[in-house]
């Protein structure tokens, strides 16, 4: 394995003669950004597991040169790769031996889910390059992303699809393939940034916006951007109730504190099947009272929310209304008779799917009752806040998703007789959310979960509405 080591002259010769090379710089991102060999990419790993995942994805038919400060770590890694059959090398004595000029990075080598969200929110011109396989991409993606699978990026054809004048963010499921994509792009002379944790972390971004501010009442809508889950903070007189919180729960504390609110109550509208509820965790974190529907089973200690009762929050009384159909125990919470939190019973674009508990017909019947005799009886302009919005559904107003009885009456499904409604809804088979039976068990409290397991369990789009 004597040829694993190369010196600065040999490397310079290869670069000048345009020999295809993957030059991977193992130093910290900040040192890399301050100055690196032109055409190299930063390969700093957050864990041994990530290092192995990334290295196993390197192409076997290309010459790989590892670089660090002095040739120690790079030597070990190059020898390991060579043992596994890669054409791997390292620069003898590292960057210390490199006398030619170094280039600075114009962008970070990796970015967090929140930073990507901030740049998209600010309409920055970012090219989202999703390097997963087409099947994965079709299932679930960031709107606007372009799909070029990783293997194609190493070819001429794949690289031709990449713009030269935009900030490129590479995306995959967990942030490993996207890092290898930055290597492929660097080889082509393009800088890029890898989304840390990939789609699995992207799924966990929470964005808060004020939906209602009136006298003493504030309603904050929190959107789980990647999945379209919506949850709400209802505040009054310094106190707040959180409805349908999702992970990560600490964000709700931050959002509430910003408005001078202390979370004293946490409640779910129903037992969710498509995302992990953070209600238990948030209640524990804030010592708030935890409520669940009195008509559902939970194996954790909680207070029961009964049909017709009122739960006080600050100066407000929140009315509990049983609205079965999506699930048998679904509850709607009503504030001042003009703001309603309906869970997955009614959406901006559709109605809740009644089939997740295998009793589609019975549930569809109840859903018709709930919609026509309860929700549509609220004042015509009452704001009805759902717990999801479908892919591609635009906010109703100022970034906020809501519907009203007046708007909901335009949905063609709500024009049908009860018999036709049941027939139609039962026939509309939608694929079930990924992992839904496991998610239900976690939300019931029968299976414990660690926060770091949540992103993978929730992977995929939400599928609680009829489409």
Considering the complex, state which of residue 93 and residue 344 has its C-beta at the smaller distance from Fe ion.
Answer: 344
Minimum CB separation from Fe ion for residue 344, in Å?
Answer: 4
68 binds Fe ion (CB under 5 A): no
Residue bearing tokens 């017709």: 308
Clarify whether 464 is annotated catalytic.
no
244 binds Fe ion (CB under 5 A): no
The one among 196, 281, 344, 366 contacting Fe ion by CB under 5 A: 344
Q: Which of 67, 91, 172, 288 is catalytic?
A: 172
What is the β-pairing status of strands 193-195 and 110-111? parallel
DSSP secondary structure letters along 407-459: HHTTSGGGGS-HHHHHHHHHH---PPPTTHHHHHHHHHTSS---GGGHHHHT-
Q: Which two tokens stand for residue 257?
A: 């504190």
Task: Kindly state the helix (H) or strand (E) to which residue 242 belongs, with its residue range.
Answer: strand 239-243
Considering the complex, state which of residue 8 and residue 273 has its C-beta at the smaller distance from Fe ion.
Answer: 273
Q: What angle is formed at CA 233 by the lines to CA 400 and CA 114, rounded to 5 degrees? A: 65
464 binds Fe ion (CB under 5 A): yes
Considering the complex, state which of residue 168 and residue 222 has its C-beta at the smaller distance from Fe ion.
Answer: 222
| 276 φ/ψ angles, rounded to the nearest 5 degrees | -80, 125
Considering the complex, state which of residue 351 and residue 378 has its C-beta at the smaller distance from Fe ion.
Answer: 351
Binding mask 269-298 for Fe ion (x = CB under 5 A): ---x--------------------------
Minimum CB separation from Fe ion for residue 218, in Å?
Answer: 25
User: 307 and 324 in contact (C-beta within 8 Å)?
Assistant: no
Stretch near Fe ion under the rule CB under 5 A, chosen from 71-79, 178-186, 207-215, 340-348? 340-348
Considering the complex, state which of residue 272 and residue 280 has its C-beta at the smaller distance from Fe ion.
Answer: 272
The residue of the chain with the least Cβ separation from Fe ion equals 344
**Binding footprint of Fe ion, residue count (CB under 5 A):** 3
**d(C-alpha 291, C-alpha 183), whole Å:** 49
User: 121 and 36 in contact (C-beta within 8 Å)?
Assistant: no
User: 182 and 193 in contact (C-beta within 8 Å)?
Assistant: yes
**d(C-alpha 312, C-alpha 256), whole Å:** 17
Binding mask 253-272 for Fe ion (x = CB under 5 A): -------------------x
Q: Which residues are catalytic?
A: 172
Interacting residues with Fe ion (CB under 5 A): 272, 344, 464
């Amino acid at each position: 394995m004597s040829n694993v080591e190369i010196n600065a002259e040999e490397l310079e010769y290869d670069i000048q003669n345009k020999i295809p090379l993957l030059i991977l710089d193992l130093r910290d991102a900040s040192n890399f950004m301050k100055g690196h060999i032109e055409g190299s990419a930063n390969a700093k790993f957050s864990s041994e597991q990530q290092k192995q995942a990334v290295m196993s994805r390197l192409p076997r038919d290309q010459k790989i040169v590892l670089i660090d400060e002095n040739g120690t770590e790079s030597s070990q890694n190059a020898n390991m790769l060579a043992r596994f059959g890669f054409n791997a090398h390292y620069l003898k004595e590292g960057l210390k031996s490199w006398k030619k000029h170094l280039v600075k990075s114009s962008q970070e080598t990796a970015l967090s889910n929140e930073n990507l969200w901030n740049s998209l929110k600010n309409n920055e011109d970012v090219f989202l390059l999703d390097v997963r396989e087409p099947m994965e991409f079709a299932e679930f993606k960031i709107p606007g992303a372009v799909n070029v699978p990783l293997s194609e990026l190493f070819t001429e054809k794949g690289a031709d699809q990449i713009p030269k004048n935009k900030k490129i963010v590479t995306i995959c499921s967990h942030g490993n393939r996207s890092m290898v994509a930055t290597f492929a792009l660097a080889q082509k002379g393009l800088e890029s940034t890898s989304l840390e944790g990939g789609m699995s972390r992207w799924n966990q971004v929470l964005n808060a916006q004020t939906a209602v501010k009136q006298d003493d009442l504030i309603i904050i809508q929190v959107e789980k951007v990647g999945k379209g889950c919506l949850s709400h903070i209802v505040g009054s007189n310094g106190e707040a109730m959180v409805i349908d919180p999702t992970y990560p729960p600490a964000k709700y504390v931050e959002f509430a504190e910003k408005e001078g609110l202390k979370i004293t109550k946490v409640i779910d509208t129903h037992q969710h099947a498509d995302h992990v509820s953070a209600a238990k965790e948030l209640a524990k974190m804030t010592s708030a009272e935890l409520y669940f529907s009195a008509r559902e089973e939970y194996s954790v200690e909680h207070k029961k929310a009964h049909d017709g009762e009122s739960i006080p929050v600050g100066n407000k009384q929140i009315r509990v209304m049983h609205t079965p159909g999506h699930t048998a125990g679904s509850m709607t919470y009503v504030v001042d008779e003009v703001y309603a939190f309906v869970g997955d019973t009614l959406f901006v674009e559709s109605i809740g799917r009644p089939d997740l508990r295998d009793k589609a017909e019975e549930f569809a019947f109840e859903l018709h009752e709930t919609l026509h005799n309860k929700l549509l009886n609220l004042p015509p302009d009452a704001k009805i806040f759902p717990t999801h919005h479908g892919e591609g559904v635009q906010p109703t107003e100022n970034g906020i998703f809501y519907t009203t009885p007046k708007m909901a009456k335009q949905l063609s499904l709500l024009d049908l007789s009860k018999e036709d409604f049941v027939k139609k809804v039962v026939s509309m088979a939608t694929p079930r959310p990924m992992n839904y039976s496991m998610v239900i068990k976690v939300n019931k409290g029968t299976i414990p979960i660690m926060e770091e397991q949540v992103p993978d369990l929730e992977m995929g789009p939400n599928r609680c509405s009829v489409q």
